[in-house]
Amino acid sequence: MDQFSFTPIEQTLRRALEEDLGHGDLTSLLVVPVGLAGRARVLAKEDFVLAGMPFMAMVFSIVDPEVILEVLRPEGSSVRSGDVLATISGAARSLLAGERTSLNILQRVSGIATLTRAYANRVRDLPVRITDTRKTTPGLRLLEKYAVRTGGGANHRFGLYDGILVKDNHIRPAGSVAEAVRRAKSGHHLLKIEVEVRNLAEVEEALRAGADVIMLDNMTVPEMAEAVRVIRRTREGVLVEASGNVNLDTVRGIAETGVDIISVGALTHSARAVDISMKME
């Protein structure tokens, strides 16, 4: 069947399975009897935010449609070490074939959701959104951005194709912030124009040029606070995003400047995979 008959996520999971299984699980083919039924428990081995069970279910459905996965904890819930997250039953060979791929994905996605929840909790009483970036694992962007949403964050643009973000490497060949924004505004009339700025002079230039969203890149907290005051005083409706040098220690202070969005590349590029195991019974 043509690979384009599958959804993008299913294509990703099939490629992951092919990477692990190749032409077959040699150990199980030799050791596990044909037709032997098996049952396994998926166990949390530390505290974290659960995300990715739909992907685990999809992996096993690709391996063997007769495998039954019963999810015991809801997506986005906080689980504790020792919790049973799901039970899986079916042919023992099928359970072993899908074990590592499904766990790799579940651990990665839950790790991102867990880190995102930590950031969101730091600013939950403030009117600001924590968003991801395009700093994702190649091939896993859909899964990782799903994890951000499950953890309580929001998605920035998915790729270069669905949002206009004028960065410093666009501004240099264009000649100036104003010229880069002018050229960007000649494109799709339904898309907002976001521009990255590094100082107050560029903030004012972006405002005069008619930018819809202004990203404050690697500014200090006092500089961001002043930039927000200038933007709010100059024109209504402009969204303000903060980016760069954001971590769990700084995110609260950044949010208190009054920005609308804080984008955090670490949500996806630096999240630690959580510890989950699958134990056969």
Instruction: Return the CATH number at 75.
Output: 3.90.1170.20
Supply the residues annotated as catalytic: 100, 135, 167, 196, 217
Query: What is the percent of the chain with per-residue pLDDT over 70, rounded to a whole number?
Result: 98
132 and 260 part of one domain: yes
Tell me, yes or no, whether 165 and 136 share the same domain. Answer: yes
pLDDT over 70 (residue 137): yes
Confidence of residue 245 (pLDDT cuts 50, 70, 90): confident
Q: 206 and 173 in one domain?
A: yes
Q: Can you say whether the dihedral through the CA atoms of 221, 222, 226, 232 is positive or negative?
A: positive
Supply the CATH number for residue 257's domain. Answer: 3.20.20.70
Distance (Å, whole) CA 24 – CA 96: 11
Shared domain for 32 and 136, answered yes or no, is: no
Calculate mean pLDDT across residues 233-238: 96
For CA atoms 143, 145, 150, 151, the dihedral sign is positive
pLDDT score of 5 = 60
Query: Do residue 264 and residue 130 come from a single domain?
Result: yes
* Largest pairwise CA distance in the chain: 73
Would the pTM count as exceeding 0.85? yes
Q: State how many domains the chain has.
A: 2
Average the pLDDT over 223-229 and give the result: 98
- pLDDT tens, residue by residue, 9-33: 999 999 999 999 999 999 999 999 9
Q: How large is the average pLDDT for residues 39-46?
A: 98
Please write the tens of the pLDDT for every residue from 93-121: 999 999 999 999 999 999 999 999 999 99
pLDDT average, residue stretch 253-269? 98
Among 263, 208, 265, CA closest to 241: 263
Q: Do 22 and 136 belong to one domain?
A: no
For residues 83 and 132, membership in a common domain is answered with no
3-state helix, strand, coil in the chain (%, to 5): 45, 20, 35
Query: What is the band of 54 on the pLDDT scale with cuts at 50, 70, 90?
Result: very high
Question: What is the average pLDDT across 61-66?
Answer: 98
Q: Are residues 102 and 175 in the same domain?
A: no
pLDDT tens by residue, 143-189: 999 999 999 999 999 999 999 999 999 999 999 999 999 999 988 78
227 and 177 within one domain: yes
136 and 246 belong to one structural domain: yes
Domain interval for residue 36: 3-120+272-280
Does residue 89 contact residue 39 with C-beta atoms inside 8 Å?
Answer: yes
* 134 and 111 share one domain: no
Q: Give the list of residues 6+ apart from residue 194 with CB closer than 8 angstroms, or none.
A: 163, 164, 165, 166, 211, 212, 213, 214, 215, 239, 241
Residues 6+ apart with CB under 8 A from 49: 76, 77, 78, 79, 110, 113, 114, 116, 117, 150, 151
193 and 81 together in one domain: no
Q: What is the mean pLDDT of the chain?
A: 96
